[in-house]
Amino acid sequence: MKHLSIVVAVACLFLLASCRQDVYSTAVTPVAGSLPENENHPMKDSLDFILNKHIAKGVPGAQVMVKNADGWYITNGGYAKPETKTAMSDNMTAWVYSISKTYLATVALRLKEKGILNLDARIADFISQDILQHIANGDKITVRQLMNHSSGLRNHTVEPSFQLFQLNNPFTVLSLKEKIKFIYDKPALFEPGTDFFYSNSGYALLQWVVEKASDKPYAQVLQEEILQPLNLTKTFYGVTDQQMLNLGFPNYYFERYNNGQLENVTKWNNTIAKGLEGYGGIAANGTDVIRFMEALINGNIISAASLQEMRTWIQGKESTEPDYGLGLEYFGSYNKTVPTVTYGHEGDGIGGTTQVLYVPVNNTYIFITINAGRQLFGEYLFRTSDLKIDLCRYVATYR
C-alpha cells in the first residue's frame, strides 16, 4: 500500500525529535440523526469479530461502514475519546485525509467533460511563473501526470526540512505555496511519465490547476461539482474549530516514542488536517464517502469514459502490481488465492488513518476510520494497518 512508504520515511525524524508530551482534549458533540442500517447484514458477525479482535489489541477506536446489495452495516469499536469513554458514533464526522485526492481528481475530470480542462495540457498553462520556475520539469509536466503521480515531483511532506518545521511549529498552518517551497529548486526524481512516486506536492499543484481552469476557489468548485449534485450534506471542506466541536469529531492519538504508549494529539492532528486543503483536507461521515464512491462507480458524477481514465493504472518500475490511476489507488486482491481487483484510496494523518475500498466482484464498498496514527515504526504502525488489511481482505474475498 502506497502510503506505507511515506509512513516509513518519516520514522527517523520523529524518533530523533525531542518534544514535550502535551495532552490535548477537544470536546465532541455528536450530530443528531439516524443512518440506514441492516442489523441482519450477512457480513455483520465477521466484521464485528475482526474489529473487536483488533480493539482488544490496543486500537483506541475504529468505525467500519459497509454497503452492498444487502444494504448498510455500520459497526463501531473502542472509543472516540478514551479519556472519558466516549463511544464512537454512527453520526461521527472524521478527517478522511488523502481520500480527498479522489474528490479533487473527480473535480478535474468534471472540468474536462465540460471542455474547461485538458488533462494532457502542460501545467505551465495554469501555474504562475514565479512558482513554476522553481519546480523541476515544470515546463514538461502535464495535468494527467500530476493526477497519477508520474510527474517525478518530490513530496514535500517527506522532505526532512518540512518535517522538522512541523515538529517545531505543530500549530502553524502553512499555505499551499509555503508548503510547495519545500521542494523548490530540488531535482526531479525521474523524467515525467517514466515512473511512479506518490506526491502530495503534485496534488497541491493540481488544486491550483483546477482553480485556474474554473476561475473559482477550490471550496466553491468542490461544492458545485460534487457535494451539491450528490447532496453530500455530511461532507465538509475548510472545517473550522467550532465545526469540529459541533460535528462530533473523535480525538486523535499517536505513538510518538515507539513505546506502545499513545499520546492525545488531537489539536496537532486537526491543525495539520485543516491545512491539507485539496490533497487531504476533507472531513466527512463515512456514509457520505461511500455515497460519493458509489456515485462515481455508477456513472452518476462522471461519464463511463472518464471513469475508465481514472482506472487506467500506472505501475512503478519497482512495483509488482499497478500503483495508481487518476485519484484512485489500486489495491489488488488482498488474497492471492482469490484474484480480485479492488481499488479506492487510503488516508493518513499524524493521529488517524482511513480507507475507502470498492470490490467490483461483489459490488461492495467499505469505509474505515481509525483514531490512531501509523506514522512511525512501532506497535501502532502494525496494529492500525493490520486492522485495515483484515477488514479489506474479508470484504474482498466475501462471496
pLDDT, tens digit, for every residue of 129-184?
999 999 999 999 999 999 999 999 999 999 999 999 999 999 999 999 999 999 99
Note the pTM of the prediction, 2 decimals.
0.92
Quote the pLDDT of residue 258.
Answer: 86
C-alpha closest to that of 200 among 176, 171, 222, 217: 176
DSSP three-state, residue 196: coil
Hey, what long-range contacts does 357-360 have (CB within 8 A, 24 or more apart)? Answer: 357/331, 357/392, 357/395, 357/396, 358/293, 358/297, 359/395, 359/396, 359/398
**How many domains does the chain fold into?**
1
Q: What share of the chain is helix, strand, coil (3-state, %, to 5)?
A: 40, 15, 45
Residue 34: band (very low, low, confident or very high) from pLDDT cuts 50, 70, 90: low
| Mean pLDDT value of segment 26-37 | 50
> Which DSSP letter does residue 108 get?
H
Determine the structural domain holding residue 103 and report its residue range: 27-397
Distance CA 295, CA 394 (A): 23
- Strands 263-264, 253-254: pairing is antiparallel
* 268-307 per-position pLDDT tens digit: 999 999 999 999 999 999 999 999 999 999 999 999 999 9
The pLDDT of residue 36? 73
Whether residue 241 has pLDDT greater than 70: yes
Residue 163 lies in a domain: yes
Q: Is residue 257 part of a domain?
A: yes
Tell me, yes or no, whether 280 lies in a domain.
yes
Residues 6+ apart with CB under 8 A from 150: 192, 193, 194, 195, 196, 314
- State residue 2's pLDDT score: 56
For residue 4, tell me if it sits in a domain: no
Q: Is pLDDT above 70 for 193?
A: yes
pLDDT tens for each residue of 91-114:
999 999 999 999 999 999 999 999
CATH number at residue 264: 3.40.710.10
pLDDT attached to residue 3 = 56
Residue 39 domain-assigned (yes or no): yes
Residue 67 lies in a domain: yes
If you write DSSP's letter for every residue of 345-370 in order, what string do you get?
EEEEETTEEEEEEEETTTTEEEEEEE
Task: Report yes or no on 12 lying in a domain.
Answer: no
- Residue 312: inside a domain: yes
